[in-house]
A and B are shown apart, each in its own frame.
Chain A
């Protein structure tokens, strides 16, 4: 299927972001069961999965051009949203190689990469980019290799260095984040940057996840889904701009809740990189409004049950208290109590309503 890009849509101010029916059905809905609790929900990242969002190494959808433009705008306002510590340069080149090769392989109609030894030529048709450069020579690109390629990918990325049996977040491109700050967290160890998350530490989730990731093998990437909720289809919910988007939370009413409140899902992927032994962590963000989710019977039943029964500490950490009950009240009449199938697949090809 050919993607119809929508370059003019916005993720702030006018919020003209909309999803086509195909785009709703490819949403990586995050709940495999009717209840939610933290777990080490990691699985091999292989092509293919319950929705079309899992078909590529780095997923591209109809919002690609608009999201790249939004990223450009955030970086213009705040260049420190992309930072990489100097010892991560090998990991930067590793990332560029991996993302360029994967995009060219998965989307040959949009991207191509040709190599003659160290001389590489990269073509990105949707963004109208044609760049020749020398692999390994920073001065042949308009900016650092990690920034260069992540400006042309959807979702945030971080780079983890592995040392002393720990992982350190020593670089990142973070413009579409769920309320965490790269400028503040850069250089932190695994447990430090997850410090604010409630309950999961006590359950040993981070101890187990760290041990698993320290053993992550080259060529065998893994993935997991994470979620929160965002008012308005706003990609940049950074702590830096909290005074800008914070008031949105108080703007939800029973009348506008279905269109305003969005389920925000992160398809997180982790790749071991060859030269550097670092881990590239992709945090691909998908936004779908409660109204759009309600068009899939299984998803609306399940979202209702998950939110209704959610642990209050998790709800507070994810910033839901101001509007959670309104979402539950909106979905309750749409939940007929029927059982739901295991897993996240929508179980339908057509949308209701």
Chain B
């Protein structure tokens, strides 16, 4: 993959429970914890795990334990996120939040954590699965999901956009800038880079 040398682009590490933490909650965009999301020797049993089944017929869990080893299954990502907001609002100091999945899932989870008062020291993320990018058109603020090419057309203002490696954790998106602003029509061919 190309590297534009921009330092705002996040770097990710496989997850291991922070030994300083008192309780560890791992949210996953998928039906189970991907092995590559965890550091060597770490098993999902070290965490309370929340997963996403992507199906409607998910029965409510009987126990709803809030402890390491417990697993809760959600229908979809928004379902999980709304439960996460409720949970963090009544949590006490000592919790650590971890997330594994595509980049937008990670940084949307980060936003929920930050609004609940978690600092960067209390969260950790592993990027697994799709490399496709959420992009933010800096000219018209349109957000586009699943972009896989170096250049794409803005769905909002029609500009041919170059996808920079400059990443906003707040927007969970990469910056996209008109590529032919100086000489209209001078658009390089798009490359498939983020699939």
- A interface, CB within 8 angstroms of B: 163-164, 181, 183-188, 191-196, 198, 201, 239-243, 246-247, 249-250, 322
B136 on interface, CB distance cutoff 8 Å: yes
**A319 nearest CB neighbor, chain B only:** B182
Comparing B21-29, B39-47, B168-176, the segment that makes contact with chain A is B168-176
* CA gap between A194 and B166 in the complex, in Å: 10
The answer to whether A247 touches B119 (Cβ under 8 A) is no
B5 adjacent to A243 (CB under 8 Å): no
Answer whether A192 and B159 are a contact pair too, CB < 8 Å, given A183-B141, A187-B169, A242-B139: no
Pairs across A and B, CB under 8 Å, 23 listed: A163-B119, A164-B120, A181-B138, A181-B175, A184-B136, A184-B138, A184-B166, A184-B171, A184-B175, A186-B170, A188-B168, A191-B7, A196-B166, A239-B138, A239-B139, A239-B175, A239-B177, A242-B139, A242-B177, A243-B178, A246-B181, A246-B182, A247-B181
B82 interface contact, C-beta 8 A = no
Is B121 interfacial (CB 8 A cutoff)? yes
| B72 is an interface residue with CB less than 8 A from chain A | no
User: How many whole Å from A177's CB to the nearest CB in chain B?
Assistant: 12
Q: For the complex, is B164 an interface residue (Cβ under 8 Å from A)?
A: yes
A188 to B182, CA, bound (A): 28
Q: Indicate if the CB atoms of B7 and A195 lie closer than 8 Å.
A: yes
B6 close to A (CB within 8 Å): yes
Q: Which B residues touch A191, using CB under 8 A?
A: 7-8
Please give the distance in Å from A124's CB to the nearest CB on chain B: 33
Shortest Cβ distance from residue B57 to the other chain A in the assembled complex, whole angstroms: 39
Chain B min CB distance to A159 (Å): 15
B189 contacts the other chain (Cβ, under 8 Å)? no
Q: Which residues of B contact A188 (CB under 8 A)?
A: 8, 168-170
Residues from chain A with Cβ under 8 Å of B175 in the complex: 181, 184, 239
B124 to chain A, nearest CB (A): 14
Closest residue of A by beta carbon distance from B170: A187
| Contact A185–B168 (Cβ < 8 Å) | yes
Query: Which chain A residue has the least Cβ–Cβ distance from B136?
Result: A184
* B60 on the A face (CB < 8 A): no
Q: Measured between alpha carbons, how far is A242 from B138 in the docked complex, in Å? A: 9
Instruction: Say whether B9 faces chain A, with CB atoms less than 8 Å apart.
Output: yes
Scoring A163, A183, A185, A192 by chain B CB atoms within 10 A of each residue's CB, the highest score goes to A192
Bound Cα distance A226, B169 (Å): 27
Are the CB atoms of B7 and A194 closer together than 8 Å? yes
User: What's the minimum C-beta distance from B115 to chain A, rounded to whole angstroms?
Assistant: 11
Q: How far is the CA of A246 from the CA of B181 in the complex (A)?
A: 5
Task: Convert B122-163 into 0s and 1s, putting 1 for each residue whose CB lies closer than 8 angstroms to a CB of A.
Answer: 000000000000001011010000000000000000010000
Chain A residue numbers with a CB within 8 Å of B168 are 184-185, 187-188
Are A247 and B7 in contact, with the CB atoms below 8 A?
no
Give the nearest-CB partner of A85 in chain B.
B170
The majority secondary structure among interface residues of chain B is loop
Assess whether B178 is in contact with A242, with CB atoms less than 8 Å apart: yes
Cβ of B184 under 8 Å from chain A: yes
Asked whether B7 lies within 8 Å of A249 as measured between CB atoms, the reply is no
Min Cβ gap A141→B in Å is 27
Bound together, the chains give a CA A188 to CA B168 distance in angstroms of 7
Please give 18 more A-B residue pairs, beta carbons under 8 A apart, in addition to A242-B139, A249-B182.
A163-B119, A164-B119, A184-B138, A184-B168, A184-B171, A188-B169, A195-B9, A196-B6, A239-B139, A239-B175, A240-B139, A242-B138, A243-B159, A246-B178, A246-B181, A247-B181, A247-B182, A322-B182
Q: In the assembly, what is the distance between CA of A249 and CA of B6, in Å?
A: 24
Contact at B182–A193, with CB atoms within 8 Å?
Answer: no
A255 to B120, CA, bound (A): 53
Contacts of B182 in A (CB 8 A): 246-247, 249-250, 322
Find residues 61-88 in chain B having any chain A CB closer than 8 Å to their own CB.
Answer: none
Say whether B183 faces chain A, with CB atoms less than 8 Å apart: yes
Query: Once bound together, how far apart are the Cα atoms of A168 and B5, in whole Å?
Result: 21
Chain B residue contacts of A194, Cβ below 8 A: 7
Distance A192 CA – B170 CA, assembled complex (angstroms):
12
Find residues 1-29 in chain B having any chain A CB closer than 8 Å to their own CB.
5-9
**The 8 nearest A-B residue pairs measured at CB:** A246-B181, A195-B8, A192-B8, A195-B7, A187-B170, A246-B182, A239-B138, A195-B6
Residues of chain B with a CB closer than 8 A to A198's CB: 5
Expressed in whole angstroms, the minimum distance between the Cβ of A58 and any Cβ of chain B is 29
Name the CB-closest residue of B to A244: B181
Distance (whole angstroms) from the CB of B179 to the closest CB of chain A: 10
The answer to whether A250 touches B7, judged by C-beta atoms less than 8 angstroms apart, is: no
Structural contact, B7 and A164, CB atoms closer than 8 A:
no
